[in-house]
Structures are given as structure tokens and as C-alpha cells.
Amino acid sequence: MGLLIAAGMALFAYGLYQKIADPEFTFFPAEPGDAPPVPAAPPVSVAPRLPAPGAFGTIAVPLPEGCVLARVIPEGDRLYLRIGPAGRCERVVVVDVATGSVLGTITVGP
């Protein structure tokens, strides 16, 4: 039993060494009729969809007197504009970046 374990470990070490030296190494080469291996697909970027510059023109987001844009939060194909300061100005405006349309406003209050 110990001899089988030692032989298995030796084969494992040999295979590991060969794979490091040549990434295409296999213990059992493909038969002449087998199909060649399919190369891996290139990595896919998961960046948010952003429109081309000028794709939807200018968006006007009216703010009451004394209110300012406190923070911009991009999230996928949505853009969240946090308006502040706290009080009567506190709200979140949701914009669709693909079309540039204002989807809605979330107001915060009692």
C-alpha cells in the first residue's frame, strides 16, 4: 500500500513539474480523430453602460433656492444624485444614464 502511495506521489510531482515547464502538457495526448481544445474566451468587462458624449443632450434638474448637489452615486445604468443639505432640500434624484431621463425623485421628510 505504501508503494502505491509513493508511486502516486511521484507521478503527481512529475506531472506538476511538466505542467509548470509546459502548460500544454498532458499525460494522455489526444487521439488523431479528437477535436482540438477550444481556447478560453476573453474576459468580459462588466462596466456600466454609459452613453456616448452628447447622446441625450443636457438634463435640467431644478433645485430649490439654497440646495446643492451633495453627492453623485453611479449604480449600473442608474445615476443617483443626492441633493442637500438636510432639511427641505434633502432628496435623491434618479437618472437613467442610457436615455438621460429623470426617472423620479425620492424625498426625505417626516
User: pTM for the whole thing?
Assistant: 0.45
Per-chain mean pLDDT for the chain: 76
Average of per-residue pLDDT across 70-75: 85
Backbone conformation region of residue 97, classed left if phi is above 0, alpha if psi is from -120 to 50, else beta: alpha
Residues 6+ apart with CB under 8 A from 64: 88, 89
Q: Where are the domains of the chain?
A: 1-29, 68-107
Are 67 and 18 spatial neighbours (Cβ–Cβ below 8 Å)? Answer: no
pLDDT in tens, 10-64: 988 988 888 888 877 777 766 666 666 666 666 655 555 555 555 556 677 777 7
Average of per-residue pLDDT across 61-70: 80
Q: What gap in Å lies between CA 96 and CA 110, rounded to an integer?
A: 28
* More confident: 53 or 73: 73
Rounded to an integer, what is the distance from CA 23 to the centroid of its chain? 29
Which pLDDT value is given to residue 77? 85
Average of per-residue pLDDT across 71-99: 83
